[in-house]
Amino acid sequence: MESLVSTNYYFRGQRDFYRGKVRDVYNIDDNLLVMIATDRISAFDHVLPHPIPYKGQVLNQIASTFLDDTSDLVPNWKIAEPDPHVTVGYRCDPIPVEMVVRGYLAGHAWRIYRDGGREICGEKLPDGLRENDRLPTPIITPTTKAKSGHDTDISFEELYEQKVLKKRQIDQLVQYALTLFEAGSQKAADRNLILVDTKYEFGIRDEKILLIDEIHTPDSSRYFYRNSYEEIQAKDQQQRQLSKEFVRKWLIENGFQGLEGQLIPEMTPEFIESVSNRYIELYEQITGKTFVKRDYHNIGQTIEEKVNAFISQNLQGS
């Protein structure tokens, strides 16, 4: 199966380039960012050895849809989507804190709770909860962004004390995060899904806070099926979810959690195709649209031409 593993362009006005775990990001004239969502996939802070076809397109187009749908609620960085794998937007100074909103006890929060923890990032959790139970009210569990390795949980009190952000900035981030989570939850409910938890990233441009990066994608969010949730919980079974968590669980079951000495298990063609299908399933479920698989033939040249055309139109005279 064809895929987009990486890019190596030099666009007009390009100042620098950054390759993340799954995205290639180009700084244009210190004003715009060209963010290319490749088909690379990461887990436990490792990029897995095989890409997932159409994953980048799925992530980019879901994020693009939600950025458009919520732009009247929270200002964001997006300007245009010149290619199915590409979003161009305003360059911002990233805020080094991720706002993780949790409506259900799942993933990282569940693992802390299962091991006896009853507090996460200063948020106290009641006794008697099971994995994937709905929380009394959504909570925000911030993490500090790490340049490498795991992000670190942090409480709002610690953010104040360490002067990472000003109080008014944190208050604004809380308001934005809860507003976005409510909008995402409603959109999910309309599509027979539950938005379980998600993370939001923000940046500052001209002293204004903007939502940046992706939003409500399977890499940044976890979804359950709404119509079967109660029945599955009543039977104390694992929820069927549309997120990257199933990849993490597959890795754990096969002896890999990113620890020293552990080897990434073999990703068979069948497994790769199943992951691709799960990403496409989420796209169609959350957007209500039929996914149109892009043509990978000459994809590198196609992206380069589309991005350069956009830059030329938006940097006239620069």
> What does the pLDDT read at residue 39?
97
Q: What is the CA radius of gyration of the chain?
A: 20
CB atoms within 10 A of CB 8: 8
287-293 long-range Cβ contacts below 8 angstroms, 24+ apart:
287/61, 287/62, 287/65, 287/191, 288/191, 291/54, 291/58, 293/54, 293/57
- Structure confidence at residue 147 as a pLDDT band (50, 70, 90): low
> What does the pLDDT read at residue 242?
78
> pLDDT of 113-123, one tens digit each?
999 999 999 99
Could you tell me the end-to-end alpha-carbon distance of the chain, in angstroms, rounded to an integer?
40
> What does the pLDDT read at residue 74?
98
> What does the pLDDT read at residue 149?
54
Alpha-carbon distance of 246 to 238, in angstroms, equals: 11
Contact (Cβ atoms closer than 8 angstroms) between residue 306 and residue 82:
yes
Question: In this structure, what DSSP letter does residue 140 have?
Answer: E
Alpha-carbon distance of 232 to 214, in angstroms, equals: 30
Helices (H) and strands (E) in the chain, counts: 8, 18
Contact (Cβ atoms closer than 8 angstroms) between residue 207 and residue 104:
no
Instruction: Please report, for the chain, the start and end positions of each structural domain, with discontinuous segments joined by +.
Output: 14-93+246-314, 96-211+222-242
- Structure confidence at residue 318 as a pLDDT band (50, 70, 90): very low
Alpha-carbon distance of 86 to 166, in angstroms, equals: 33
CB atoms within 10 A of CB 157: 10
Question: In this structure, what DSSP letter does residue 260 have?
Answer: T
> pLDDT of 247-285, one tens digit each?
888 999 999 999 999 999 999 999 999 999 988 988 999
Q: Is the pLDDT higher at 282 or at 232?
A: 232
- What fold characterizes domain 96-211+222-242? D-amino Acid Aminotransferase; Chain A, domain 1 (3.30.470)
Task: Look at residue 317 and tell me whether its pLDDT is greater than 50.
Answer: no
Longest dimension (CA), the chain: 64
- pTM value is 0.90
Question: In this structure, what DSSP letter does residue 239 have?
Answer: P
Contact (Cβ atoms closer than 8 angstroms) between residue 77 and residue 33:
yes
- Structure confidence at residue 316 as a pLDDT band (50, 70, 90): low
CA angle 73, 75, 80 (to 5 degrees): 115
Whole-number mean pLDDT of the chain?
93
45-58 average pLDDT score: 95
- Structure confidence at residue 5 as a pLDDT band (50, 70, 90): very high
65-77 average pLDDT score: 97
Task: Look at residue 56 and tell me whether its pLDDT is greater than 70.
Answer: yes
Task: Look at residue 148 and tell me whether its pLDDT is greater than 80.
Answer: no
Alpha-carbon distance of 249 to 258, in angstroms, equals: 12
CATH 3.30.200.20 for domain 14-93+246-314: yes
> What does the pLDDT read at residue 241?
79
